[in-house]
Amino acid sequence: MKYSGMEFELWPLGDSAVLLRLGTHTQPRVNADVHRAVAALRAALLPGVSAIAPGHACLLLTLDLPALLRAGGSSALAGRVRALLATLAADAPSPSRLVEVPTRYGGDDGPDLDAVSQATGLAPARVVELHVAGEYRVAAIGFRPGFPYLLELPEALRLPRRSSVRPRVAAGSVAIAGAQTGIYPGESPGGWHLLGRTELALFDPSRSPPSLLLPGDRVRFVAVT
């Protein structure tokens, strides 16, 4: 089946979920297609689907099995999904909002800024300049509640993860690894390079929704002192 010029696959995941895969790699174009698909599927209110969660190159449909059986079962759902995605335009804009993240770079807030400077051959100020110049898209939320995986880190800043994992990374730490940047929502171990820190609360269970950033959002970092 073709969707937005690419093949997609539907796979059962256990007995109460379906995985819809649009690609095999973390690519901005594929992830944009994921978010277009999520928006269309949520708007369609498909019978038998209780929740939809996007990933980097796939999305998960959690099923309400009694409702699904009343609506014709899994084969009927697969047909509805294929028909809906086949109608989507490849160049249709993804619904999104822009969130600015004020960030203090370097010093105690960004203990890896100098190491990143040395590894990339860029002055610390240039590292910060490149990081704040980009506009990032939230590909997915994980590895803990509220942690955003942000795509499209500038090529000049792309480094492997640290060779060792810190046992404790402060909440709000802004970090980079590979082709992504991210923000630690709470204190936790972490192996990404820490450039700075924000005071924004990335995750608050009393808030609705509890996660400040949502899949598909666009993010800009703003350097503050």
pLDDT in tens, 13-64: 888 998 988 877 777 878 888 888 888 888 889 999 999 988 888 889 999 9
Query: Over the stretch 164-217, which tens digit does the pLDDT of each residue have?
Result: 999 999 999 999 999 999 999 999 999 999 999 999 999 999 988 899 998 889
Cβ atoms within 10 Å, residue 12 = 12
pLDDT, one tens digit per residue, over 135-144 is 999 988 888 8
Can you tell me the mean pLDDT for 65-71?
Answer: 90
- Whether the Cβ atoms of residue 146 and residue 184 lie closer than 8 Å to each other: no
Mean pLDDT of 97-101: 94
Q: For the chain, list the domains and their CATH numbers.
A: 2-86 (3.30.1360.40), 98-223 (2.40.100.10)
Confidence of residue 79 (pLDDT cuts 50, 70, 90): confident
pTM of structure: 0.80
Convert the chain into a string of H (helix), E (strand) and C (coil).
CEECCEECEEEECCCCEEEEECCCCCCHHHHHHHHHHHHHHHHHCCCCEEEEEECCCEEEEEECHHHHHHCCHHHHHHHHHHHHHHCCCCCCCCCCCEEEEEEEECCCCCCCHHHHHHHHCCCHHHHHHHHHHCCEEEEEECCCCCCEEEECCCHHHCCCCCCCCEEEECCCEEEEECCEEEECCCCEEECCEEEEECCCCCECCCCCCCECCCCCCEEEEEECC
Structure confidence at residue 161 as a pLDDT band (50, 70, 90): very high
Return the pLDDT at 1. 41
129's tokens: 């300049």
Alpha-carbon dihedral angle through residues 5, 18, 50, 72, given to the nearest 10 degrees? 90
Task: Give the phi and the psi of residue 28 in degrees, each rounded to 5.
Answer: -55, -40
